[in-house]
Amino acid sequence: MNIRVENLEFSYEDFRLEIGSLVFAEARVTSIVGPNGAGKSTFLKCAASVLAAPRRSLFVDGKDLTALHGRERAKLVGYVPQEPSFTFNYTVLDFVLTGRAAFIAAFSSPTGHDVRLAEDALHYVGLSGRGRRPFLELSSGERRLVLIARALAQGPEVLLLDEPTSFLDPRHEVETMVLCRRLAEDKKKTVVVTLHNLEMAVRYSDAMVFMKGGKVVAAGAPGDILSESLLRDVYDLDMKIVECAGQKFFVK
């Protein structure tokens, strides 16, 4: 299922997000990049219904996402924040089971089916056997994988990940992006990530969206839109694009 954006507007006191028309394709990884304050996370939160977007501005498989009830939205869109805040140190399995909340009746416990889905999600991200560990005792990389597992347990067609590689070491950074590619290729998910690492975005994305000042500056396949002039316009910084061993690197 794809995501289609049509005239999405959202305002804070001192910031305005304006996206005219944009499509995120099914079974593809799209990276949203740009400087701090560009509106990347704000857009993702609107698409995830964390922030209230205007009616008929976001569509998933032709359905107006803003008009759907919570359970219906949960079947379509899963959101992975940068890092959740906790007042209680859940076990890993219990935390992943919170992704099933929209499917569990009030005052009811998770069913065996819910538990199996949570365990399958942990297995998929490579964390089988970690279910009884307290979440906050995991490494940063493992916590990111648990966040993705929670979204997978929800069973959505679209996955929105807000800076999933931030503060990770190179190994976990690569593992996270490889997992995003697997989700798109193996499970045919529509995967949208916000990133600061341009090399990672170019290497693992089918498409990129460059944002600045709440607006889209360019969108398309990396090979079609990437240029030094675009980087200068978006980041207000001269950068050289250098190719080595078939990969692009950015020299500031």
Q: What is the mean pLDDT of residues 87-116?
A: 86
Domain count of the fold of the chain: 1
pLDDT at 71: 83
Backbone dihedral angles phi then psi of residue 208, each to the nearest 5 degrees: -130, 145
Residue 134 maps to a domain: no
pLDDT at 222: 95
Residue 132 maps to a domain: no
pLDDT at 110: 86
Q: Which of 179, 113, 174 is nearest to 146 (CA)?
A: 179
pLDDT at 204: 97
Report yes or no: 57 and 5 within 8 Å, Cβ to Cβ: yes
Report yes or no: 218 and 19 within 8 Å, Cβ to Cβ: no
User: In this predicted model, what pLDDT tens digit does every residue of 13-52 receive, in sequence order?
Assistant: 899 999 999 999 999 999 999 999 999 999 999 999 999 9
Residue 144 maps to a domain: no
Predicted confidence (pLDDT) at residue 87 exceeds the cutoff of 70: no
Residue 225 maps to a domain: yes
Residue with tokens 């648990």: 146
The whole domain housing 185 covers 3-84+158-251
User: In this predicted model, what pLDDT tens digit does every residue of 120-178 receive, in sequence order?
Assistant: 999 999 999 899 999 989 988 899 999 999 999 999 999 999 999 988 889 989 999 99
Residue 105 maps to a domain: no
Find all residues with CB under 8 Å of 36, minimum gap 6, and list them. none
pLDDT at 83: 75
Residue 118 maps to a domain: no
Q: What is the mean pLDDT of residues 208-222?
A: 97
Q: What is the mean pLDDT of residues 205-233?
A: 97
d(CA 116, CA 131): 12
pLDDT at 101: 85
pTM: 0.93
Residue 135 maps to a domain: no
Residue 67 maps to a domain: yes
Tokens of 38: 């560009």
pLDDT at 103: 82
> CATH number for the domain including 228?
3.40.50.300
Q: Which of 131, 123, 64 is nearest to 97 (CA)?
A: 131
Mean pLDDT score of the chain: 93
pLDDT at 105: 74
